[in-house]
Amino acid sequence: MADLQPPPQAARIAQQDEADLVARAVAGEREAFGILVERYAGVARRVARAVLGNPEDADDAAQDAMLSALVKLEQYDPRRPFGPWLLRIVANAATDRRRRRAVRRVEPLDVGLTAGGPRPDTTAERRALSERLRQALAELPERRRIAVVLFDVEGYSHAEIAPILGIPEGTVRSEVFHARRRLRVLLADWKEEG
């Protein structure tokens, strides 16, 4: 199993590098924190968007998470990889925001998510596929959604995702499996229809 293999040399170097960056950021070096933010902006925003759907809300949640991480940097254990530590904060921030949002208002369902509608050209087809995927993703349970995004989009292993979601590795495997099955059916239907 790939999950059980020791991390490759590059990963160890990256981990050391990030531990240094964190130490420098804790010491008040703004540039070091800036490098960490740049490095993790993409994945943090994608994970937040997987939870929240709305890009503006997702960016707000990702930003809150980054700032929360800055405040908590001293609690980070440099012997562990930085990414999962940060992404746990991101996932929690996005989940909290979604809960607050759910209390605040009831979101209408996205329009334009009609499956099997007319598809006049490739751009429209791609857009429609994206919308269907987004809808399918939104229909997945939240934990399953984050698991499949971290695994298939971000390339994290099951073992790395487990602490992010706070669940056992076996449960991560199961979540990824069920999410993939649902999303692959959607993609397959689309290809067959096309």
Partner 1 sequence: MKEPLPFDHRPDTALGDALRGVLDPGDAAPFVARVLARAEQVRVLSWDAVLARWARPGVAAALVVSLTAGYLVGRATAAPPAAVRPTVADILIAPPAHPGEVEVVLASVIGNN
Binding site for partner 1 (CB under 8 A): 1-3, 28, 30, 33-34, 37-38, 41-42, 45-46, 49-50, 55, 58-59, 62-63, 66-67, 70-71, 126, 129-130, 133-134, 137, 148-149, 151-153, 155, 157-158, 173-174, 177, 180-181, 183-185, 187-188, 191
CB 73 within 8 A of CB 86: no
Q: Which of 166, 155, 178, 42 is nearest to 95 (CA)?
A: 166
For residue 53, give the DSSP letter. -
Least distance CB 80 / partner 1 (angstroms):
21
88 vs 136 by CB, closer to partner 1: 136
22 vs 157 by CB, closer to partner 1: 157
- Give the C-alpha separation, 48 to 145, whole Å: 11
Least distance CB 9 / partner 1 (angstroms):
20
Q: Which of 55, 12, 39 is nearest to 154 (CA)?
A: 39
CB 146 within 8 A of CB 65: no
99 vs 184 by CB, closer to partner 1: 184
Least distance CB 18 / partner 1 (angstroms):
17
Residue type, 53: G
Least distance CB 99 / partner 1 (angstroms):
20
What residues contact 40, with CB distance under 8 A and at least 6 apart? 66, 83, 86, 87
74 vs 79 by CB, closer to partner 1: 74
CB 149 within 8 A of CB 51: no
152 vs 193 by CB, closer to partner 1: 152
Least distance CB 158 / partner 1 (angstroms):
7
Least distance CB 36 / partner 1 (angstroms):
10
106 vs 107 by CB, closer to partner 1: 107
Side-chain-side CA neighbours of residue 99 (13 Å): 7
